[in-house]
Every structure is written in structure tokens, then in C-alpha cells.
Structure 1
Amino acid sequence: MSGRSKRVASPCVSVCALDENDVCIGCHRTGDEILHWTRLDDDQRRDVLRKVSEREQRSII
């Protein structure tokens, strides 16, 4: 096995449109989170994914 592990994957689902709160209706990331995703390390990406999960749960209610 290689010493390099796979990066945390983007939650993008190719439904790209920001709502009135600057949150994507597809992946639930903010515009800034989308913009900076490629520069985030894996810990930062996991933090974004936790926030995405929270936003997604709130949008279901």
C-alpha cells in the first residue's frame, strides 16, 4: 500500500445553484467553501463536511 492516502472527496452532486443564503442547493456548501475546497487539507475538508451534514439535516425539516 502506498504511503499516500486518498484525499477527502468533494460532496458535489453536480446540482450547482446557490440559494439566498449563499449555500448550494446540491451539496450544501457555502460559496466560500466551494471556492476554497481544493486548498483545504483533509481535516479542514472533514470540518466542512460536518457543517454540510448539519445544513442538510436542517433543510429536510
Structure 2
Amino acid sequence: MDAPPRPIVTPCVKVCIVDGESGLCLGCQRTLPEIAGWAKLSDDERAGIMEGLPARRSLIRPEKLGWG
């Protein structure tokens, strides 16, 4: 019997709003191409993107994130 597929790690927080100014999702800070291709990326590629996500928050104006 085949084992069930492994779940894919994702930064998605179910807040899917893409900021037109930065091109990043306000929930997870990924770009639309990253979101669309997420399942096709390798574990290493996903980990590399996830590592850089915190730094991307500075590309989004704080008021768009609800930070005042």
C-alpha cells in the first residue's frame, strides 16, 4: 500500500491579499508566482523562500499590515 503524501510546509495564514505596490501577499509575503508554484518547488526551494519572508515585511507599508 502506498503511503499518504507528505504535507507541504507553507507560510500561508489564509489572508490572501496581494499588495499592488510591493507585489507581496499581505498574509505570507510571497509573490503570486511563488504562491502559484509552491507545490512544484522542492523542499529546499520552499525553505529558502521561507527564510527570506521576514525581511520582506519591510517592503510593505506598515499601515497595510495593520501596524498603525
TMscore range, shorter length:
0.7 to 0.9
Q: Quick check: 1:7–1:42 contact (8 Å CA) kept in 2?
A: no
* Structure 2 gap segments, 5+ residues each: 1-5, 63-68
2:35 paired with 1:42:
no
User: Structure 1 residue 54: deviation in Å?
Assistant: 1.3
* Structure 1 gap segments, 5+ residues each: 1-5
Q: Normalised by the size of structure 1, how large is the TM-score?
A: 0.75
Amino acid at match of 2:32: G
Identity %: 35
Paired position in structure 2 for 1:55: 56
User: Structure 1 residue 22: deviation in Å?
Assistant: 1.6
Q: Which has the larger radius of gyration?
A: 2
RMSD: 1.7
User: Structure 1 residue 52: deviation in Å?
Assistant: 1.1
User: Structure 1 residue 51: deviation in Å?
Assistant: 2.0
Q: Normalised by the size of structure 2, how large is the TM-score?
A: 0.68
2:23 paired with 1:22:
yes
Query: In 2, Cα distance between the equivalents of 1:47 and 1:15?
Result: 21
Paired position in structure 1 for 2:11: 11
